Amino acid sequence: MAIGIPDVSLQDNTDERTPLVLVLDCSGSMKDERIADLNDALKNNLEVEMKKDPTTSTRGRVMVIEFGGDDEIKQGLWQDAIDFQAPTLVADGRTPTGAAITSALAAIEAQKAELKANGVPYKRPILMLMSDGEPTDNWEIAADACKAAEAANKVTVFSIGVGDGADLTKLGRFSKNGAKQLKGTQFKELFVWLSASVKAVSKTAKGESAQLPSTDSWASTGPV
pLDDT digits (tens, 9 = 90+) for 143-177: 999 999 999 999 999 999 999 999 999 999 999 99
pTM of the model: 0.93
Q: Name the nearest CA neighbour of 68 among 22, 128, 26.
A: 26
Considering the chain, what is the average pLDDT of its residues?
93
At 222 the pLDDT is 45
Query: Which of 117-147 are b and which e, b meaning 16 or more Cβ less than 10 Å from the residue's Cβ?
Result: eeebebbbbbbbbbbbbbbbbebeebbeebb
pLDDT grade, residue 13 (50/70/90)? confident
User: pLDDT at position 6, please?
Assistant: 60
Range name among 12-16, 33-37, 212-216 with the lowest pLDDT average: 12-16
Q: What is the mean pLDDT of residues 54-58?
A: 95
Mean pLDDT over 171-196 rounds to: 96
How many whole angstroms separate alpha carbon 181 and alpha carbon 201?
23
pLDDT in tens, 106-127: 999 999 999 999 999 999 999 9
Reported as a pLDDT band with limits 50, 70 and 90, residue 224 is very low
Residue 35 or residue 207, greater confidence: 35
Mean per-residue pLDDT for 63-71? 96
